[in-house]
Amino acid sequence: MLQDVGGPVPPNTDHAVSVSLPTWEANVAYEEGAEWLAKKMQCGYPRFFVHPIIQGLAREVMRRQGDPETESATLFPSPKTANVCHSFVLSRIPPEEYSRVRIVNFVPCTRTDAESPAVTSLLSCVIYPKEYASIAKQVWQHTGNGVSSRRGEFCLKALEDNFLVEESRSAMADAAAQRPCKGPRRYQGKGSVSGLSRGTGTTPSASPAVDGAQDGREYSQFIEERFGRNLNTSLADQAKLAVRRRIAGVMTADVELSEALEKASDEGRVAGLTEDDVYLFPSGMGSIFNAHQIALAARGPMKSICFGFPYIDTLKVLEKWGPGCLFYGHGSSGDLDDLESRLVNGERFLALFTEVPGNPLLKTPDLRRIRSLADKYEFLVVVDETVGNFLNINVLPYADIVVSSLTKIFSGDSNVMGGSAVINPHGRFYQDLKNAFNKEYEDDYWAEDAVFLERNSRDFVPRIEKINKTSEDITAMLKESPLVKEIYYPKYGPSKPFYDNVRNPNGGYGGLFSVTFHTTPEATAFFDNLEVMKGPSLGTNFTLSCPYTLIAHYNELEWASSFGIDFDLVRVSVGLEDIPDIRSRFQQALDAVASVKKS
């Protein structure tokens, strides 16, 4: 079952969100940038590895608007998201270099926006000297605001067919012609872009590039040819609405789903919550980043709190954007004591960000006490419930904002990214947050991605129920084995009462767990001999495993260890395989551990 290293996970999937790293050695090679591994990488988790389609689009942008020898481009879905990157890069380079960083916006060559409302805001590109690529990469990774591979695929074709042009020239063409732009008309490849003079001359583009359609085609025809056989873009808004209603637990056209939702969480939903309080984002990290930014807009510049050991990018967002962050990596009662002492002494905070349960130790914080402190000392509570998922747990009564990565179990198919933020309608700061969301939020979720997410999520209720049951079986099996050093799962450990406090009446303990062994060779043997998909991500319909600490914290292992995260921890996300099948695979891996112990 071992999949080729570097291939998409799942296999034969153009827009896969995971990549095969099937051995311990392959994961180490990935982290160390080994050439043999880099050559095999066909894809990767989208915020860490730029999809080949997006790489191709960036090259085409550079060919037309930059210097491919000395410059690079990072691509975003809107001017607003591009400005985040632009500002971040400028904040980290000398002032004399500012003019070398610029934004180029691309829009459809036509102004018949009413014909295709789902595809009018298309592409914004931050162009910068190559030596600053590592700075721009931080924005791509941490904010989750980058273009999706499906958007990139569309934009690349539109750019090649000359239906996508630099914004200022599109406006000039409209003013001159007052009609959808047609006919060949060359433009300058290295001129003024987005109001910033490059100062490098106006050399014409090396290949034909026109402001309008080829062979007399119009933009609306291009849209039909691009989408018509597979997806109707007019369904995008309906798909987004269906997803938002699904998340809110509101009755949908899918009767079976609605009945299952009511059965699974009839006591867990918050009265008065509607789809109007649910906001969609292109990724889970996008929902966290934007929730933080919108909270700052609503309440002003204050430090935040990161409570419990978080998924790495959450902490980076709080540290790098805004006034800073107070980090409590253990998420213990002692940490809450320290926080309360600070609050009593007059310190004030914007928001506390936490996960239920945490990743990778699956610990649950004391949300009741956190909520009590938040009410008394007036700070927001933002809960990431991705790992628990909103059918198993109900954290909204304790939170002002609940964020989630819809890329995970909500989708399950590992072929589309997505995120959501839900505002608690009964929260103390609800109206402030609602006003800020209404002012600051922009819908950057790509039409095709929305349709795929909606389709994938129609059966998420029965999928979660099966995964819950299988996970409890497998974790019990591992917990009984003397070969296992520790099993981390919400059902076990001292934080179980905190999880049970937010668990829905029919909810389970989720599909994610971590396991450690007594030596690194034993952990390696377990991982290498576990015949499941291997790669980053979680919440997939198939069982997926990775050496989590190694790939998430390779350059900060000592720091992670200080919070109880073992270097050789193996994380497993359980899928839809039948229990006898998956048990036999885990037994085979345990047998390999036993063989190492004997040698």
CATH of the domain at 357: 3.40.640.10
**pLDDT value of residue 108:** 86
**pLDDT value of residue 453:** 96
The answer on pLDDT for 107 being more than 70 is yes
Question: What average pLDDT does this structure show over 85-105?
Answer: 96
Percent of the chain with pLDDT over 70: 83
**pLDDT value of residue 212:** 42
Q: Are strands 304-307 and 351-355 parallel, antiparallel or unpaired?
A: parallel
Nearest CA-CA partner of 242 in 280, 211, 215: 280
Give the highest mean pLDDT range of 204-213, 304-313, 479-488: 479-488
The answer on pLDDT for 554 being more than 50 is yes
Give the highest mean pLDDT range of 208-212, 391-395, 509-513: 509-513
Boundary of a domain, candidates 392, 426, 457 = 457
Pairwise CA distance, residues 595 & 237, whole Å? 55
The answer on pLDDT for 67 being more than 80 is yes
The answer on 488 and 363 residing in a single domain is no
The answer on 74 and 52 residing in a single domain is yes
Percent of the chain with pLDDT over 90: 75
Nearest CA-CA partner of 141 in 297, 330, 288, 308: 288
Pairwise CA distance, residues 78 & 472, whole Å? 43
Q: Is residue 199 part of a domain?
A: no
pLDDT digits over 225-246, tens only? Answer: 555 544 556 688 899 999 999 9
**pLDDT value of residue 264:** 39
* Poorest-pLDDT segment among 106-120, 409-423, 507-521: 106-120
* Poorest-pLDDT segment among 244-248, 260-264, 415-419, 506-510: 260-264
The answer on 164 and 272 residing in a single domain is no
The answer on 284 and 418 residing in a single domain is yes
Q: Give me 202's structure tokens.
A: 């106006």
Q: Where are the alpha helices (DSSP H) in 211-366?
A: 219-227, 236-248, 255-265, 284-299, 312-320, 333-344
**pLDDT value of residue 3:** 79
The answer on pLDDT for 436 being more than 70 is yes
Q: Judge contact between 433 and 477, C-beta under 8 A.
A: no
For 93-110, the DSSP string reads: S-GGGGGG-EEEEEEES-
Q: Judge contact between 437 and 431, C-beta under 8 A.
A: no
The answer on 240 and 152 residing in a single domain is no
The answer on pLDDT for 374 being more than 70 is yes
The answer on pLDDT for 135 being more than 80 is yes
Boundary of a domain, candidates 457, 476, 511 = 457
The answer on pLDDT for 316 being more than 70 is yes
The answer on 328 and 398 residing in a single domain is yes
Q: What is the mean pLDDT of the chain?
A: 86
Cβ count within 10 A of residue 516: 19
Exposure b/e, 419-457, CB count within 10 A at least 16 = b: bbbbbbbebebbebbbebbeeeeebbbbbbbbbbbbebb
Higher per-residue confidence, 181 vs 421: 421
Q: Which domain holds residue 516?
A: 460-597
pLDDT digits over 328-368, tens only? Answer: 999 999 999 999 999 999 999 999 999 999 999 999 999 99
The answer on 470 and 346 residing in a single domain is no
Q: Is residue 24 part of a domain?
A: no
Q: Where are the alpha helices (DSSP H) in 481-529?
A: 496-502, 520-529
Distances (CA, A) of 356 to 27, 90, 332, 489, 517: 27, 35, 14, 12, 25
- Give me the torsion for CA of 474, 480, 482, 486, rounded to 10°: 60
The answer on pLDDT for 137 being more than 90 is yes
- Three-state DSSP class for 184? coil
**pLDDT value of residue 234:** 67
Beta bridge partners of 108: 164
**pLDDT value of residue 155:** 93
The answer on pLDDT for 167 being more than 90 is no
The answer on 148 and 242 residing in a single domain is no
**pLDDT value of residue 390:** 87
Question: What average pLDDT does this structure show over 451-479?
Answer: 96
Q: Is residue 514 part of a domain?
A: yes
**pLDDT value of residue 227:** 57
Q: Is residue 207 part of a domain?
A: no
Distances (CA, A) of 37 to 32, 549, 554: 10, 19, 16
Q: Is residue 228 part of a domain?
A: no
The answer on 238 and 347 residing in a single domain is yes
CATH of the domain at 543: 3.90.1150.10
The answer on 406 and 292 residing in a single domain is yes
Question: What average pLDDT does this structure show over 547-570?
Answer: 94
Confidence of residue 201 (pLDDT cuts 50, 70, 90): very low
Q: Judge contact between 121 and 77, C-beta under 8 A.
A: yes
- Quick one: three-class SS letters along 302-330? CCEEEECCCCHHHHHHHHHCCCCEEEECC
Boundary of a domain, candidates 442, 457, 472 = 457
**pLDDT value of residue 218:** 59
Q: Is residue 559 part of a domain?
A: yes
Number of domains in the chain: 3
The answer on pLDDT for 197 being more than 80 is no
The answer on 441 and 534 residing in a single domain is no
Higher per-residue confidence, 249 vs 474: 474
| Total count of residues recorded for the chain | 599
Question: What average pLDDT does this structure show over 200-206?
Answer: 29
Q: Is residue 275 part of a domain?
A: yes
Question: What average pLDDT does this structure show over 463-490?
Answer: 97
Question: What average pLDDT does this structure show over 10-16?
Answer: 93
pLDDT digits over 22-48, tens only? Answer: 999 999 999 999 999 999 999 889 898
- Three-state DSSP class for 508? coil
Q: Which are the contacts of 243, defined by CB distance < 8 A and separation ≥ 6? A: 280, 406, 418, 420, 450, 453, 454, 457
Query: In what order do the strands lie in the sheet containing 102-108?
Result: 71-76, 123-129, 102-108, 164-166
Question: What average pLDDT does this structure show over 388-408?
Answer: 94
Q: Are strands 484-488 and 512-517 parallel, antiparallel or unpaired?
A: antiparallel
**pLDDT value of residue 166:** 87
**pLDDT value of residue 89:** 98
The answer on pLDDT for 540 being more than 70 is yes
The answer on 420 and 289 residing in a single domain is yes
The answer on pLDDT for 99 being more than 70 is yes
- Three-state DSSP class for 263? helix
Q: Is residue 82 part of a domain?
A: yes
